[in-house]
Amino acid sequence: MLDLLKTHFGYDSFRPLQKEIIDHVMDGKDAFVLMPTGGGKSLCYQLPALALPGVTLVVSPLIALMKDQVDALCANGIEAAFLNSSLTPKEQGAVMERARSGHLKILYVAPERVGAFGFNEFLGELEVSLLAIDEAHCISEWGHDFRPDYRNLRSLRMKVAQAPIIALTATATPQVQKDILSQLGMGKSQVFISSFNRENLHYSVRPKFNTTAELVALLKEHEGESAIVYCYSRKNTEEVASQLKRAGIKATAYHAGLPKKDRERAQDMFIRDEVQIIVATIAFGMGIDKPDVRLVVHVDLPKTIEGYYQETGRAGRDGLPSECVLFYSYADRRKQEYFINMIDDEDEQKLATQKLDDMVEYCQNTVCRRFFLLMYFGEFTAPTSCDACDNCVTEEAELVDATEISQKILSAVLKTGERFGAAHVCDVLRGSNKQRIVELRHDTLSVHGIAKGVPINALREYVQSLKTYGYLTQNTGEYPTLCVSQKGRQALAHKSPILLPKLKSIKPSKTKTSRSKSDLDYNEVLFEKLRALRKEIADEQGVPPFVIFGDRTLHEMSFYIPLREDSLSNLFGVGAKKLEAFGETFLSVIRTHAQEHKLEEKSAPEKITRTNTVSSGALSSTLEETKSLLAQKHSIKEVADERGLSHGTILQHIEKLLYTDEAPDLEHIRPIGKDAEKIEAAFKTLKHPSLTAIFKHFNERYSYDELRLVRMFLN
C-alpha cells in the first residue's frame, strides 16, 4: 500500500486513521468514515481500488466534484471516469464500455443514476469490489444537506451485496451518524471518527461594521491567493462582487440564479486560477476540490455550525495555513429567524432554531473558537485553547480612560427604559431621527445626539466592552435588550472612572498563523516561475493547476532546489507517474534559476517530516496575574473584583490555564452541590456541547457562566 501511495500520489506516509480504514476495507469489511474536509477521505477508497480486482463504484452528489477527482486520478496514472448528465449519450456509452471491459478502476456515478433506466442491467455486468458513498450526510433528513435521491442507495447496496461499503462524510452530528448507518443498513459497521481539528485554519469573528472596507483590506492581504466570500442571498452576492470590482479587486459572482453556463464558467475560472476571488451563496463549493484556497470569508451569518464548518473546510485543504473570517451582526439572526418562522413543520422549525442558536453562540462566545467547534462535533476532550483563533491570540488590550463615553451610554440605556438593544441605543446617542425613535419620543431625551461625533462602529465597540467588563448586561431571551448592571449603576452614581480597552483599528490584525504561507522559507521568485509553469501545463491539458502539483510541492521545490530526478522524487506529492510526466520540465526551470542566481541544491531528507504544530507559548501577564490570585485560593468573584474584570473574562482565563502545564490547583472553585450535579448529568445525558441547548433545557434557570464552569471540570 505504501508503494502504491508513493507511486500514484507521491506521499510517503498516511494521515491519521487512513491506514486503519484502508486495512479494514481490504479485509472486506464495511466502514463508516467521519473525517474533516482536507483530512484525506478520498484516499480511503481510492487506494484500495488500485489493489482490489474489478471496479470501485463511487456515489458522489455533484458533477464538479466528480470531474475534479477524475482529472486528479488520471494525472496520477489511475484509470477513472464518471457517469452523469454532463456527458452525451455517446460519451456515456464509451465510459460504460470501458467499465465492462475491465479498463476502469474507479467509476463515479451521481445518485440519480441509481434509479435510471438500464442501470441495474449495467451494474450486473460489472465486477464491483467496493462501494463508496461520498458526502454520506446527504442521506439523512437530520443533516444540513439532505438529498432524496440518496434514499435509493440502500437498494444499490443490496445489488452489490458481495462488495464492502464505505460511507464517508466530513460533517455529521451523532444523530446524523446514527441515521446514516440505519439508512444504509450498516448497523454492525466499524465507525472511524477522525479529529475535526484543522490545525492549519485560523478562525476569527469580526463585528459587522464597515464590512466592505474590512473585506477589501483582508483580500489585499491575501493578494494573489484564492479566496471564497460567502453571502446569504443572491442579491447580496452580486452587490459584494460589484463593490470588490469597484475597489480594484478582480472577483466573480456565483449563485443558483445565474444561467448554468455562467455558473460553470465562474467555477471553472476559479478552479483554473483565472480569477482569485469568487463571491458566492452556499450553492457554491460542496463539490470543489481546490486545495489552495487561502481565505474563506462569511459576510453573513451561516444557518448552522455544520454548514459553517463545511464551508470553512474549503480553506487550506493542502494543509498550509489559511484563514476563516466571519462578519457577525445580531441583525443577521433576525433575518434568519424570519425564514425559520415560515417553516410549517413545528419539529423542523424547532431544530432550525436550535441550530441557529448554536451558530450565534459561536459568534458571541469568548472561548477558543476551535474548542467550541470540536465540542459541537463531540470531541469532549478538546483542548480549551489553540493559540490560533482570534479569542486565543488576541493580546490583552491596553486600557484607556473611557469614563465620559461610558457614562453617556449607560445613561442612554437607563433613559430608554432598558428595553432596547445596542442598535437602538446607539441610534439615540448619535441623534438619529428614525421613525421608531420619533414614535417613542426618544428624540426628546437629554441623551439624544450627545455622542453624535462618535462613529457607529466605535460606539458598538464601547457597548461590547461595557458588557465584557460587567457594566452592562444583555438579556439572553428572545430580544437582546441591554440593562445597566449594579456595577454600572454604582459607577454612574459615584462618577467612578471607567477603563476600557483601546479601540481596535479597522485594519485586520495580523497573526503569525494566518500570515505564514509555509513552514519553509522558500524562494518566492522561483515559486512564482514554477506556478506560471504549472498553469501553462494545466491549460494545455485542460485540468486545474493543482492537478499537476499542489502549492505545498512547489514550496518544497523552491526551498530544496532539487537539480536531479532522485532529489525531486523525495518531495511531497511527487509520485512516479508525475515524475515521469512533469519531472524534467520542472527540473529545467529550477536548474536555470539556480544557475542564474548561483543557488545550490539543499539536501532533502528521504522522507520529509511534515507536522502542523501549534505553540502554546508563555503565559501572558494578565493570565499570570489571574493564576497568582487563584493560587492564593481566591474565588472567581474575588479575582474578578480584584482585577476589575468581568466574571466571564476570568472564566476565559481559567479555561486557558487548564490547557497549560502551569495551571494552579483549582479544586476550590470546582462547582459542588445538587445544582452542579444536575448540570453535569444534563451534559452527559444530552450529549450536546452547546451551552445554549443546556441553558434552554433548564428553562434559563442557570447562567451561561455557571454552565461553562461545570463543563470545564467535566472535561
Instruction: Give the range with max mean pLDDT: 63-67, 649-653, 673-677.
Output: 673-677
Instruction: Give the range with max mean pLDDT: 140-144, 346-350, 376-380.
Output: 346-350
The answer to whether residue 655 sits within a structural domain is: no
pLDDT over 80 (residue 537): yes
pLDDT over 50 (residue 446): yes
Say yes or no: 183 and 214 in one domain: no
Query: What is the pLDDT averaged over residues 630-642?
Result: 86
The answer to whether residue 179 sits within a structural domain is: yes
Say yes or no: 206 and 330 in one domain: yes
Say yes or no: 9 and 137 in one domain: yes
User: pLDDT tens, 324-363?
Assistant: 999 988 778 878 888 888 888 888 888 888 888 889 888 8
Which residues touch 307 (CB under 8 Å, ≥6 apart)?
Answer: 144, 145, 171, 282
Instruction: Give the Cβ contact number of residue 581 at 10 Å.
Output: 16
Residue 97 corresponds to which cell in the numbers above? 464500455
Say yes or no: 58 and 147 in one domain: yes
Distances (CA, A) of 328 to 166, 389, 417, 692: 38, 16, 26, 18
Question: What is the pLDDT of the chain when averaged over all its residues?
Answer: 83
Query: What is the pLDDT averaged over residues 150-154?
Result: 76
Q: Report the candidate in 371, 386, 319 with the shortest Cα–Cα distance to residue 615.
A: 386
Least confident of 418-427, 431-440, 601-610, 658-667: 601-610
**Which amino acid is located at 149 in the chain?**
D
The total number of structural domains that make up the chain? 5
Query: What is the pLDDT averaged over residues 569-580?
Result: 87
C-beta of residue 43 within 8 angstroms of C-beta of residue 1: no
Q: Quick one: CA torsion of 706, 709, 710, 712, rounded to 10 degrees?
A: 160
pLDDT of 40: 84
pLDDT over 70 (residue 511): no
Say yes or no: 435 and 570 in one domain: no
The answer to whether residue 622 sits within a structural domain is: no
Query: What is the pLDDT averaged over residues 181-203?
Result: 84
Q: How confident is the model at residue 431 (pLDDT cuts 50, 70, 90)?
A: very high
Residue written as cell 490555564? 657
Q: How far apart are CA 467 and CA 479, in angstroms?
A: 16
Domain closes at, from 193, 223, 250: 193
Instruction: Give the Cβ contact number of residue 659 at 10 Å.
Output: 18
Where is pLDDT greater, at 152 or 619?
152
Per DSSP, 667 falls in state: G
Q: How far apart are CA 591 and CA 597, in angstroms?
A: 10
Q: How confident is the model at residue 608 (pLDDT cuts 50, 70, 90)?
A: very low
pLDDT over 70 (residue 58): yes
Q: What's 409's domain CATH number?
A: 1.10.10.10
Q: How confident is the model at residue 319 (pLDDT cuts 50, 70, 90)?
A: confident
Phi, psi of 541 (to 5 degrees): -90, -5
pLDDT of 604: 63
Say yes or no: 223 and 368 in one domain: yes
Q: How confident is the model at residue 426 (pLDDT cuts 50, 70, 90)?
A: very high
Instruction: Note the Cα 80 to chain centre separation in Å.
Output: 30
Say yes or no: 246 and 169 in one domain: no
Say yes or no: 46 and 162 in one domain: yes
pLDDT over 60 (residue 505): no
Q: How far apart are CA 638 and CA 466, in angstroms?
A: 19
Say yes or no: 208 and 162 in one domain: no
Say yes or no: 49 and 154 in one domain: yes
Query: What is the pLDDT averaged over residues 307-323?
Result: 89
C-beta of residue 212 within 8 angstroms of C-beta of residue 279: no
Where is pLDDT greater, at 135 or 691?
135
Domain closes at, from 341, 369, 393: 393
Task: Write the DSSP assignment of 37-55 as a string of letters.
Answer: TTS-TTHHHHHHHHHSSSE
Q: How confident is the model at residue 620 (pLDDT cuts 50, 70, 90)?
A: low
pLDDT over 60 (residue 702): yes
Say yes or no: 64 and 20 in one domain: yes
> Strand pairing partners for 190?
31
The answer to whether residue 639 sits within a structural domain is: no
Which is it for the CA torsion 228, 230, 233, 238, positive or negative? negative
pLDDT over 60 (residue 615): no
Where is pLDDT greater, at 131 or 2?
131
The answer to whether residue 443 sits within a structural domain is: yes
Say yes or no: 349 and 454 in one domain: no
pLDDT of 478: 56
Instruction: Give the range with max mean pLDDT: 55-69, 588-602, 611-625, 700-714.
Output: 588-602
Q: Which residues of 511-536 are buried (b: 16+ CB within 10 A; e: fewer)?
A: bebbeebbeeebbeebbebbbebbbe
Distances (CA, A) of 214 to 158, 388, 517: 53, 20, 21
Q: How far apart are CA 714 and CA 83, in angstroms?
A: 50
Q: How confident is the model at residue 528 (pLDDT cuts 50, 70, 90)?
A: very high
SS3 at position 224: coil
Distances (CA, A) of 483 to 39, 455, 461, 508, 705: 46, 22, 16, 30, 18
Q: What's 322's domain CATH number?
A: 3.40.50.300
Domain span at 495: 399-501
Where is pLDDT greater, at 400 or 409?
409
Q: How confident is the model at residue 410 (pLDDT cuts 50, 70, 90)?
A: very high
Residue 600 corresponds to which cell in the numbers above? 545550490
The answer to whether residue 481 sits within a structural domain is: yes
Where is pLDDT greater, at 269 or 210?
269
Query: What is the pLDDT averaged over residues 208-219?
Result: 88
The answer to whether residue 524 sits within a structural domain is: yes
Domain closes at, from 596, 630, 662: 596
The answer to whether residue 624 sits within a structural domain is: no
Q: Report the candidate in 228, 252, 397 with the shortest Cα–Cα distance to residue 316.
A: 228
pLDDT of 616: 37
